[in-house]
A and B are shown apart, each in its own frame.
Chain A
């Protein structure tokens, strides 16, 4: 018996939980056969996160130029558009470098959801792919990738976040093993992995020597206690993780200074670090572009936040282009999926202060590399990019596409205890991104 639910149920996103059912234990072995959904060969994903809600018509989905000045307030894009490497496709003029490399990627212009009132809720939607419910906590994209592709014996963690920790990015019911390691800036390194300043090799040696004695004694005393043994083992494995091999991945100084310059400011350095992490075997890296001090509001360009939005876009352009080039040069682009996500888009109208409000009904998500069929635009919006006009891509569809690109069956069911939870809320991968 196929326990999965109908396609129709997936359309009712609020019923995400409802659509999931608690089945008897016997059903668990009675899985549906692997779906015929396309599968890609990407082994890692770099998820660039434009927190705040990047305006699609000021970036990837340009429309006629509007006017935010008092009085006229003509809706439309804030900047003129330029041609790209995909014939007939334009992006905003502040993305020239990416435009020249757009044939390595695709723009999905028809992503949509209905959460706009509140950033946290929309951020959650984009990370877990469904509406919250009171009966469970869903895992995020990164945690699911960790669960599917990570290996417990790996010497590197599967999931790293460069940004602030939040439950939204967490493992939900998949459990602590699939949680991320995070860092809030590239200088200070990851919380927990980097040794505090002042702990010299001599001190480290003293610490480890004495601790080893304590560990051995305690383990002997509690021999046969599985939880004690697991904890002691985790401590030993943790020491390896914090050891020189993996720590050296975080040392950006070992990179060519010209390359570092090409990547640009802190966001660019994060992108560079993401490449290094992927290279070392990390499966999912989320890189937050949270430099809101450039324009005050980051990508949440209400009112005066709009004034310096172009600086953000230029930074994104520089770093993204450098990342694509770097991955390509190292032969990693086909195995690394780069996704540029945001919690929602913004409407074409300008607000009282010349900025923009929130819009979930239509926004863009560009993706690069990952072995997908590049050089395409997926979906289209209407005249002012207010609504999806063609090829709608739901958040579950977007997630299904990411999973499929990484070889994960998007129709697979995960288990919250005994309860099967579809890996996406019945998302379907975008078929034309797959195949040769």
Chain B
């Protein structure tokens, strides 16, 4: 069994004892143990940054390798060096010798012409060694998008031949480099491939290489072929993964496993026997034109396209395929991999849409839109193209003048996109339409903009191409309708894909939850809500406290929706609720809102804070992470088990900048990102605050700096050296303050070992905790825990298990307490993220609830259901410091969170945010490592810092700014560099002021076209009815008699004559588009446009003309009062 010890960093090369025909040497990277049998060969040492151990080829895909097989992962800055034992060593190859190399590699990218070393002898730039002294080198060379096996050696200098008298008879000749490149190679596709190579020095027959079991020819170039010149041989080192002194350009980035060196020829048979795989074609099937579905458009995304020849399909793979009724998209559906996590697509990729449709004989126009290169073919004939874009994006470009729309209210072309219109004459009958568009490009994001095919004419207008009977116009209103429909369709498609990709993982988690139930003996427990109430009542009785009555139905409903879906109830939800039978009304409502997709929206904001999700839309700064908000969102959308949620975060897989948990691995400008991540994970999932330990032992708890860095090293899968910046420098006399203990000095290497003997709140110790076991280095040897690890040797996975272990960590209690704290306003444990020395009067309740959580398979909704159905949660509120609230004989009243408030305000008036797209590069011309696009926000959690530290008006996003202003004054964290489980909730004057007078507040109040309040104002029959409806819609309650009278009086004057005769609602919405992007923001015109938009944002929405101004403003004032009443801002 292959196993790896993570406690040291010296690798050994050892003779191999497997596979009948042994290689002479094999590095299997299964051990980092320098103490193992070295077989008389010098050990390898690691140079550059620490090695990472990653998963290698393994069963089931590669049956020759066991599950849990590990491989060496190099990041382009590290390599292994092995000393040559001396003259004529086994590493030396001379004329007449045969050399063969074999390796498994996984490569994510290689540039055209780039040459990276797998292994070579010489050419190390070591001191005292000649330059270019390549005895042999096996490399990969980027050619035509593939990574070709490539062999390099230098012929020895030929000394001059002299006769007996010392006269030169044959002139000396300096040696030169000879290079051979294979004709084929694997794609840099992030998958494991098998490579092999054999060459007989001095033989006239050429080398041969094998790729994934198949032989391939090749050709000599540089230096040409030679069989007479012997290779240069000396005692320089053998290097794995790099050459030329560690030149980054020649260094390998990816995985290597089972790297073997032979002194004999390899055969086709043995190589074929190595390439045992169940790997199916990773491409989805190419569907022939003849097999296209009827009445639908078939779309597919192909990856591995090449910039130079993007339409060439020979090397591309279809990685996604779906059908929809229209030949148009607003965005690409996400790609999922790694158990249902967001993954990146290759840059570039190709989107293709195909359909057959019936047409009468007609001359019409086809309209196509796409961001970059695209081509439209009808019946196989190319009829229109868009050019492949190569843009300057330095900020100084002209602001493009948007093309004149072909007709009034045509949906405009987005900034940076292209459009073409061509006349086409169709015969009567069925036609085949094929539209392909390039997604991405050099320095561009892999982002599809609005990509579409439409037919029509400027006179009649255009319609999106659809082989169905439905009609999709290309006017603004129709497009907005389509875009909303498409958004829902894509969300459903993504969820389906995500769950399918995650099925195997889901099975694993089911098994794991069975084990957890057994370990915690919680298989048969079944707590019900009244049990919780009983426990709480006993606590209250012990303090001689009595309970407050439960709240009325509508107060309950407002509290419920705010606590489950994060927003006040809609008018139709109130109506539904009141129609339910009284006895079951509340439990029905609890079920309904727990089942609502907005449950996910409500949780994202909370975890963004707790997990320090901190993306920057303009160049990563200030502890920025990737935007893993999308993974949080999807986790709650899928009601992912809480331990799976935590584990996925710790594993940090998927897309880094596209929204996967890999984004958590990033902490820009932080010199030890994993120490930072360890701080976050420890507070988030084990309620153990370790922040002080970044620089010294914690004076407030027993956490040491060593422990923090041990956890960090587990996440890093490697020892970590404590940098000088993570310490407290000594004073001039070598002293430090006596209040601080620095128990380990900078420069100390800390190994990846679970740092805690036992978890918070428990006395049992885990195997492989520092005290319990150091012999094996593997998790839970001989323990049930071992069953829970997919790769027992991966320290990151070990850390995840330690953090979430059902019996050994406080995980379930921490998660349940977080939920309780959110629902009641205070937790069963006082601080959700730091339990050190905390006591709780409700410990037994917490433990019961945690066991039930485990019994329920870590299902958070189930636990929430249990709590929401208690009487305790449904009681009237008391001040948070009142004893009755401390013992949960009442809930507390909290101000809405910033997100609840913003979402509720817009829901109350029936408007959408109308925010700008959250990017400073809407054209997509900058890569996502500098510019992110977080999309158009629909819920408050989707906002982010607008990053205008440059103070440039042209970078302003005025509408978004007004919304972000409101969020920020109510405690939203614009920047989230650290984990926080509670916000600054003090009242400041800016809160009511910003709501009352800010641009967002102003817009909310305006009775404009499209607002729910406007329709209500227009359709109400009586002023009294309007008052009642406004109260229900905004405050979720009926007005009191006094309020009814007071407000009715305000709305009565002019009510009867409020309608302006002859004014109809406009048929088309206002079109808002601008062409300012990073590429042109330094242009004066960009500033002018943005200043105009700022002015427009100040003005807000144009008022409806259907109502008289005087009555409209009266009504707006009433709405203003209800929105600005303190009642609105509090969760009842």
Contact = CB atoms under 8 A, between A and B. Distances in A.
Interface string B986-1002: 11111111101111001
A371 interface: no
A238 B992 contact: yes
B947 A124 contact: no
Contacts of B489: none
Interface string B1077-1112: 000001110011000001100111000000000000
Contact of B727 (A18, A225, A293): A18
B996 A238 contact: yes
Given A27-B739, A166-B945, A234-B989, 14 more contacts: A3-B739, A5-B731, A15-B695, A19-B695, A24-B699, A123-B950, A164-B952, A164-B956, A168-B949, A179-B990, A184-B1094, A196-B999, A213-B1043, A298-B951
A215 B1126 contact: yes
A121 B621 contact: yes
Contacts of B984: 175-176
A135 B691 contact: yes
B1094 to A, nearest CB: 7
B396 interface: yes
A34 B997 CA distance: 43
A276 interface: no
B910 interface: no
B953 interface: yes
Contacts of A100: none
A242 B995 CA distance: 12
Nearest to B727: A18
Contacts of B41: none
A214 B1127 contact: yes
A21 B953 contact: no
Given A15-B729, A166-B945, A5 B621 contact: no
Interface of A: 1-9, 12, 14-15, 17-19, 21-24, 27, 49, 51-52, 118-121, 123-124, 131-137, 157, 163-168, 170, 175-177, 179, 181, 184-185, 188, 191-198, 203, 206-207, 210-211, 213-215, 217-219, 222, 224-228, 230-235, 237-238, 241-242, 288, 290, 292-293, 296-298, 300, 303-305, 418-419
Contact of A207 (B670, B729, B953, B1120): B1120
Contacts of A215: 1125-1126
User: Could you say which interface size class chain B belongs to?
Assistant: 35 or more
11 contacts: A8-B730, A21-B696, A24-B699, A51-B952, A137-B978, A196-B997, A214-B1126, A217-B1040, A234-B988, A235-B989, A290-B953
B522 interface: no
A234 B987 contact: yes
B738 interface: yes
B971 interface: yes
Nearest to A164: B948
A51 B953 CA distance: 12
Nearest to B1085: A293
Given A137-B978, A191-B998, A211-B1124, A6 B729 contact: yes
A292 B952 contact: yes
B1060 interface: no
A193 B670 contact: no
B612 A15 contact: no
Given A121-B669, A211-B1121, A163 B951 contact: yes
B952 A134 contact: no
Nearest to B1083: A296
A181 B998 CA distance: 11
A163 B949 CA distance: 9
B726 interface: yes
Interface in B422-445: none
A132 B699 contact: no
Nearest to A178: B988
Interface in B890-929: 893-895
A242 B993 CA distance: 8
B1050 interface: yes
Interface string B662-678: 00000101110000100
Nearest to A232: B1126
B331 interface: no
A222 B893 contact: yes
A210 B670 contact: no
Nearest to B999: A191
B699 A21 contact: yes
B920 to A, nearest CB: 12
Contacts of A241: 989, 993
Q: Identify the 9 closest CB pairs spanning chains A and B, nearest first.
A: A235-B992, A6-B731, A230-B987, A18-B695, A290-B951, A214-B1125, A134-B676, A167-B975, A238-B993
Contacts of B877: 222, 225
Contacts of B694: 17-18, 133, 135
Nearest to B667: A134
Interface stretch (B152-160, B361-369, B860-868, B961-969): B961-969
Interface in B604-651: 612, 616, 618-619, 621-623
Given A22-B692, A120-B947, A198 B1113 contact: yes
Contacts of B725: 12, 14-15, 18
B509 interface: no
Given A118-B621, A120-B949, A292-B952, A175 B989 contact: no
Interface string B376-410: 00000000000000000001100000000000000
Contact of B893 (A6, A165, A227): A227
Contact of A137 (B947, B964, B977, B1127): B977
Interface in B729-743: 729-732, 737-740
Contacts of A210: 1046-1047, 1050, 1117-1118, 1121
A292 B977 contact: no
B980 to A, nearest CB: 10
Nearest to A30: B739
B1031 to A, nearest CB: 11
B88 interface: no
B700 interface: yes
Contacts of B667: 134
Nearest to A208: B1121
B113 interface: no
Given A133-B670, A133-B977, A232-B1126, A5 B737 contact: yes
A356 to B, nearest CB: 15
A300 to B, nearest CB: 8
B955 to A, nearest CB: 8
B699 A22 contact: yes
B997 A242 contact: yes
B1084 A296 contact: yes
Contacts of B567: none
A225 B879 contact: yes
B1126 A218 contact: yes
B954 interface: yes
Interface string B1007-1043: 0000000000000000000000000000000001001
Contact of B951 (A118, A181, A288): A288
B987 A188 contact: no
Contacts of A133: 623, 670, 694, 977
B1114 interface: yes
B985 interface: yes
A60 to B, nearest CB: 20
Nearest to B983: A176
B1087 A164 contact: no
Contacts of A27: 739
B420 interface: no
Contacts of A225: 877, 879, 893
A6 B1126 contact: no
Nearest to B728: A18
A134 B1126 contact: no
Interface string B258-270: 0000000000000
A176 B971 contact: yes
B190 to A, nearest CB: 29
A22 B1126 contact: no
A355 to B, nearest CB: 11
